Amino acid sequence: MKKTALFLACLFAGTGAAAAQTWEAGLSGGYRTIKDATLKSVYGNGFVYAPYLSLAVSPSLRIGAEYEAGYAKDAKIGIFQDPSTLDVRGFHVFVQYGERIGRIQPYLKVGAGIFSYKLDIQTPTLSANRVDSTDISFFVGAGLHARLNRLLFLAAELKYVALWADPFDDQVDLGGLRALLGIGLVF
């Protein structure tokens, strides 16, 4: 995490001479899916939110960082219906490319980062009943920014996040689609 923060700070500092320097800060939220069929049947899909900050390095290219959280689900699992919790959250850095057409800007976005996942099973029968780990992930997405005025914009984004984890030595796919709506500020 420290290396990611240092990389991001260096990237932002290196863009100090960029001519089109504008910052965007936003908050988006929406629906998230889980790709793994077993986990989806137990915990289901859910809601996430993602605050982000980005910097224009040219009129059509931005770099930024976002934090995704909000997916924490409780479920009873196993033959004894033991209570469990699955919590997934992550931090990404990204590059976004898009050409403005009037007040609308369609864009493509790619990024990489670190996700943490916690699985807590409250049972006396398992000796290792808690997983608390991190893994590297990447994502691709596309979206639209619609400027309301000089400072405010609305956003819609669809992205796919890839995240393979192996709790209890069993690989599962915690990735999936996100359909997000948001609002932001240009400064």
Q: What are residue 41's phi and psi, to 5 degrees?
A: -70, -30
CB count, 10 Å around CB of 187? 8
Phi, psi of 92 (to 5 degrees): -125, 150
Sequence-distant (≥ 6) Cβ neighbours of residue 109 within 8 angstroms: 94, 95, 96, 97, 139, 140, 141, 142, 143, 157, 159
Alpha carbon distance 24, 18 (integer Å): 15
DSSP 64: E
Residues contacting 75, CB < 8 A, separation 6+: 42, 43, 83, 84, 86
8 Å CB contact between 186 and 57: no
pLDDT, tens digit (0-9, with 9 covering 90-100), for 115-148: 999 988 888 766 557 888 899 999 999 999 999 9
What pLDDT was estimated at residue 18? 46
Give the domain 2-186 fold. Answer: Porin (2.40.160)
Average pLDDT, the chain: 89
On the 0-12 / 13-18 / 19+ scale of CB atoms within 10 A, 6 is exposed
Tokens of 92: 């990404």
Q: Name the DSSP class of 127.
A: S
pLDDT tens-digit series, residues 139-165: 999 999 999 999 999 999 999 999 988
> Residue 85: pLDDT above 70?
yes
| pLDDT over 90 at 80, yes or no | no
pLDDT of residue 172: 87
Query: Residue 4: which residues within 8 A CB-CB, separation 6 or more?
Result: 91, 93, 113, 114
Q: Which two tokens stand for residue 130?
A: 């808690």
- Per-residue pLDDT for 13 more than 80? no
- Tokens 């100090």 belong to residue: 16
pLDDT tens per residue, range 50-79: 999 999 999 999 999 999 999 999 999 888
Rounded to 5 degrees, what angle do the CA atoms 100, 48, 180 make? 25
**Statement: residue 101 has pLDDT above 60:** yes
Under the banding of pLDDT at 50, 70 and 90, the label for residue 93 is very high
This prediction's pTM: 0.84
Mean pLDDT (whole number) for 27-49: 96
Domain spans, the chain: 2-186
